[in-house]
Amino acid sequence: MRLLVAGAGALGSWIGAELAASGAETLWVARGAQGAAIAEGGLRVEREGRPAFTVRPTIVSRVSEAADRGPFDLVLVTVKSYATAGLAEELSRLGPLPCLLSLQNGLGNEAELAERLPDSRVCAGSVTAACSLLAPGRVRAGAKGGLAYAGPDCGLDALAARLEARGLPTRRYADAAAMKWSKLLLNMLGAASCAVLGWPPARVFENPALFAVERAAWREALDVMEALGLPALGLPGYPVGLYAALARRLPEAWLFRLMAPRLARGRGERLPGPAADLAAGKPRTEIEWLNGAVARAGASVARPVPVNTALNRLVADLAIGRADRRAFAGRPEALLAYLSDAEIRT
């Protein structure tokens, strides 16, 4: 199996490393300090409950450099959602591709890839295991979670078998949309609030008022899923359907006592990607593909989604400087006042 890993951040590097360790031939598109570190000393993977290992893949800095190294059986797309359009333009120069597997967060990436690469086959995937970039050339992955995927068998089952052999659970789904929406529910938890406040998830979930905001955003997303006819599906390591039922039915105080400590432990002290991007001064974040996707879908099915709409708008305004980050950093009361001013009831 010959694989092109398009995006060597934490996720792409980890999954690419597991596949390389399985014996797959991999070529990675990696830039900056990460690319330089991997090219010099390889990538070290530290995975909870398993021995650390190092792989030394072939590295290129641009997709165009992969043109004469193909053909590829499968392309792993692991760039941030705001980089999808640019990556698709680069991939178009490789000609028709037999299979692209998007492991990106949020909604809409597969559709954008399919639109821009009409002669290539695009499939949907999600990784529910947590991973983080500790330093250039070094990633850490958790023990919980696995790979969810959907689509025709254009090499996906063979890829899944390789990951299973590496100890990563995998599951094929018949409904790609329901699978991606279910992963969206996990990704959106605390993402916007952490970005606005500059807080880690654990601190957000320990605050009852902020927990109520997260629940309200979740229930809006579940309402949209219901209108679209999409169930909340259990994903590897995460019974999302059960979480959805609890979010809908339990009284606020009970849900907070039951779920807040679990969420605080599970999401921990690491800043989610959107918060890190905002802190780094980037003009866009993946909130546009998380809460923003819920807002757009809600409008399309005439379901009210005021919490997600406001959170998406606020993060976008903070990213481009239309709103003052200092006015919200570490100030949950400012975020709650913003939501109240937007006539949002949480």
Instruction: Examine the pLDDT at 345 and tell me if it is beyond 70.
Output: no
Number of other residues whose CB lies within 10 A of the CB of residue 265: 11
**pLDDT bracket for residue 40 (50, 70, 90):** very high
Element (H, E) at 95: none
Residues 230-266: tens digit of each pLDDT = 999 999 999 999 999 999 999 999 999 998 888 877 7
> What percent of the chain is modeled with pLDDT above 70?
98
Instruction: Examine the pLDDT at 83 and tell me if it is beyond 50.
Output: yes
What are the chain's domains? 2-174 (3.40.50.720), 188-341 (1.10.1040.10)
**Separation of alpha carbons 43 and 40, rounded Å:** 9
- Structural tokens at position 193: 């609030």
**Separation of alpha carbons 177 and 238, rounded Å:** 17
Residues 263-288: tens digit of each pLDDT = 877 766 788 999 999 999 999 999 99
Among 227, 238, 252, CA closest to 303 = 227
Mean pLDDT of the chain: 95
**pLDDT bracket for residue 346 (50, 70, 90):** very low
Residues 209-234: tens digit of each pLDDT = 999 999 999 999 999 999 999 999 99
- Structural tokens at position 156: 């996906």
Instruction: Provide the edge-to-edge strand list for the sheet that holds 25-29.
Output: 58-60, 25-29, 2-6, 74-77, 100-102, 122-127, 147-150, 170-173
The mean per-residue pLDDT over the stretch 120-124 comes to 97
Helix, coil or strand: residue 53 = strand
- Provide the sign of the torsion angle of the four alpha carbons 27, 30, 34, 40, taken in this order: positive
Total number of residues shown for the chain: 346
pLDDT at 248: 95
Q: What is the pTM of this model?
A: 0.94
Residues 137-176: tens digit of each pLDDT = 999 999 999 999 998 888 999 999 999 999 999 999 999 9
**pLDDT bracket for residue 68 (50, 70, 90):** confident
**Separation of alpha carbons 132 and 200, rounded Å:** 14
Between 119 and 343, the higher pLDDT residue: 119
